[in-house]
């Protein structure tokens, strides 16, 4: 091998060496930056592709929000991370994830976000529904449940309580709609009322225990048509982990109550209005069973829910 060939080989080796070292150096820096970013933001729940500035807002512009979110969840799973402009939102669409948020980590997720509406109209979290989780909340909640919503007070204030009028009347309208759509169910309900109450008097609260089928009709109505389809937004001040994913501090949580109670993995024939699924079933709608949560659950569950 001539001297010039040898020099050529050395030059190639040097250039290869320099490039390899540079490539490793670059990789090292990239990994360091990636690690730092990952450390800061963690492993977020999955979600649809986002755009600069608006985040994932463009996925939500058409259709009803709870329908759209249910559709997106079919692809990305029961816990999703959405950035709506500058606002980070965790969207929950299954009973297992709801149990995690409303039970296992209720102490972290039980606050409420401040919104323009709650600040301007409701006086910066002074009302119960939008109060952050603080001493004021605990006091108002106690007064609400022990004084304002005691049976005696309900009888007095029945017509002036604003919080639940829309939800309650909507539920009645949905029940009537489903009964008109299903004459056989209407007949069965009428025959229960005839047997237990008769035709001479109206139903009283004390009768409800004996009206099993009526209770099942109400539960099935609330399952298919929860009055507050996306619940009231929750807010977490602390960073935490849910199902192995990192959720950062100052995040809103949206519970798609509509999607949860129509989950085909939990409910057989979920779109069918069938009150008999609640007969002889331990599943109730009061917030202990995460398969159906029309009143939410945990610290922020609806205080207007009666027994
Ligand atoms: C069918 C009727 C109703 C439905 C479906 C319903 C549903 C709900 C839901 C889903 C929540 C949010 C729970 C959560 O954040 O986890 C809620 C909260 C609330 N509801 Fe109801 N509700 C109904 C009737 C009522 C009535 C009659 C009242 C008042 C008398 C009422 C007062 C409230 C209040 C004050 C909150 C906020 C509680 C808090 O943030 O601590 N609701 N309701």
Residue 1 and residue 98 share a domain: no
**Residue 307, in any domain of the structure:** no
- 145 and 124 fall within a common domain: yes
Q: Could you tell me if residue 306 is inside a domain?
A: no
- Going from the Cα of 29 to the center of ligand 1, the distance in angstroms, rounded, reads 51
229-245 tens-digit pLDDT: 999 999 999 999 999 99
Give per-residue pLDDT as tens, 57-81.
Answer: 999 999 999 999 999 999 999 999 9
302 known ligand binder = yes
Estimate to the nearest angstrom the gap between the alpha carbon of 150 and the chain centroid. 28
- The mean pLDDT of the chain is 89
Ligand 1 proximity of 232 Cβ (cutoff 6 Å)? yes
Question: Which runs of E-coded beta strand occur in 198-266?
Answer: 234-236, 240-242, 245-247, 251-255
Burial code of 230-269, b = ≥16 C-beta within 10 A, e = fewer? bbeebbbeeebebeebbbbeebbbbbbbbbbbbbeebbee
Contacts of 192 (CB under 8 A, 6+ apart): 211, 212, 213, 214
Do residues 90 and 247 lie in contact, with contact meaning Cβ atoms separated by under 8 Å? Answer: yes
Report which ligand 1 atom has the smallest distance to the Cα of 299.
41
Q: Does residue 12 lie within any of the structural domains?
A: yes
Counted domains in the chain: 2
ipTM greater than 0.90: yes
Same domain for 13 and 106, yes or no, is no
Domain match, 142 and 20 both: no
What is the model's pLDDT at position 208? 94
What pLDDT, on the 0 to 100 scale, is given for residue 160?
Answer: 44
Our CA dihedral for 178, 261, 154, 200, rounded to 10 degrees, sits at 30
Q: Report the pLDDT value the prediction gives residue 48, as an integer from 0 to 100.
A: 97
Both 92 and 204 in a single domain? yes
Q: Are residues 142 and 253 in the same domain?
A: yes
Is 214 contained in some domain?
yes
Domain extent, residue 202, equals 48-278
For a ligand 1 pocket test, name from 107, 112, 295, 298 the mutation site with the most ligand atoms within 8 angstroms of its C-beta: 295
Same domain, 145 and 22: no
Alpha-helical (H) ranges within 59-204 are 65-76, 95-99, 106-109, 116-120, 135-143, 151-157, 165-181, 183-196
Beta-carbon contacts of 48 under 8 Å, excluding residues fewer than 6 positions away, are: 56, 59, 72, 75, 76, 82
Q: How crowded is the C-beta side of 232, counted as CA atoms within 13 Å? A: 24
Summarised one tens digit per residue, pLDDT across range 172-221 is 999 999 999 999 999 999 999 999 999 999 999 899 999 999 999 999 99
Specify the pLDDT at position 155: 55
Both 35 and 97 in a single domain?
no
Q: By percentage, how much of the chain surpasses pLDDT 90?
A: 66
Q: Is residue 107 part of a domain?
A: yes
Say yes or no to pLDDT of 144 above 80.
no
Residue 295 lies in a domain: no
298 within 8 A of 110, measured Cβ to Cβ: yes
Do 211 and 64 reside in the same domain of the chain? yes
Specify the DSSP class assigned to residue 273.
-
**199: exposed, middle or buried (C-beta count within 10 Å: 0-12, 13-18, 19+)?**
exposed
* Contact residues for 143 (Cβ-Cβ < 8 A; gap 6+): none
Q: What is the pLDDT of residues 74-118, one digit of tens each?
A: 999 999 999 999 899 999 999 999 999 999 999 999 999 987 766
Q: Which tokens belong to 301?
A: 């569950």
How do residues 117-129 score in pLDDT, each as one tens digit?
Answer: 667 666 666 788 8
Between CA 235 and CA 239 the distance in angstroms is: 11
In a domain? residue 225: yes
CA 190 to ligand 1 center in whole angstroms: 29
- The atom number, within ligand 1, closest to the CA of 154 reads 30
- Residues 248, 267 within the same domain: yes
pLDDT score for 79: 98
- Do 74 and 125 lie in a common domain? yes
The Å distance, Cα 144 to ligand 1 centre, comes to 12
| 109 lies in the same domain as 86 | yes
pTM for this one? 0.84
**Residue 242, in any domain of the structure:** yes
Ligand 1 pocket member 161 (CB < 6 A):
yes
Can you give the CATH number for the domain in which 238 is found?
Answer: 1.10.630.10
């Amino acid at each position: 091998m001539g001297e010039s060939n040898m020099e050529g080989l050395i030059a190639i080796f040097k250039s290869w060496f320099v490039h390899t070292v540079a490539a490793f150096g670059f990789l090292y820096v990239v990994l360091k930056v990636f690690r730092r970013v990952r450390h800061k933001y963690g492993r977020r729940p999955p979600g649809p592709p986002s755009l600069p500035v608006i985040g994932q807002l463009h996925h939500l512009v058409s259709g009803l929000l709870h329908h759209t979110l249910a559709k997106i969840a079919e692809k990305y799973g029961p816990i999703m991370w959405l950035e709506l402009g500058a606002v980070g939102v965790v969207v929950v669409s299954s009973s297992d994830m709801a149990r995690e948020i409303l039970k296992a980590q209720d102490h972290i997720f039980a606050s409420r976000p401040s919104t323009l509406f709650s600040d301007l109209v409701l006086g910066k979290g002074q009302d119960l529904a939008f109060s952050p989780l603080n001493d004021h909340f605990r006091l108002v909640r106690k007064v609400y449940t022990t004084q304002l919503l005691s049976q005696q007070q309900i009888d007095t204030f029945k017509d002036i309580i604003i919080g639940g009028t829309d939800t309650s009347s909507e539920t009645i309208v949905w029940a009537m709609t489903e009964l008109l759509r299903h004459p056989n169910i209407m007949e069965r309900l009428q025959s229960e009322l005839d047997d237990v109450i008769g035709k001479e008097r109206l139903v009283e609260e004390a009768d409800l225990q004996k009206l099993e089928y009526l209770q099942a009709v109400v539960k099935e109505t609330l399952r298919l048509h929860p009055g507050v389809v996306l619940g009231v937004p929750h807010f977490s001040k602390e960073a935490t982990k849910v199902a192995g994913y990192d959720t950062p501090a100052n995040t809103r949580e949206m519970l798609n109550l509509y999607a949860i109670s129509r989950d085909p993995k939990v409910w057989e024939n979920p779109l069918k209005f069938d009150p008999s699924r609640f007969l002889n079933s331990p599943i109730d709608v009061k917030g202990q069973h995460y398969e159906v949560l029309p009143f939410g659950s945990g610290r922020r569950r609806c205080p207007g829910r009666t027994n």
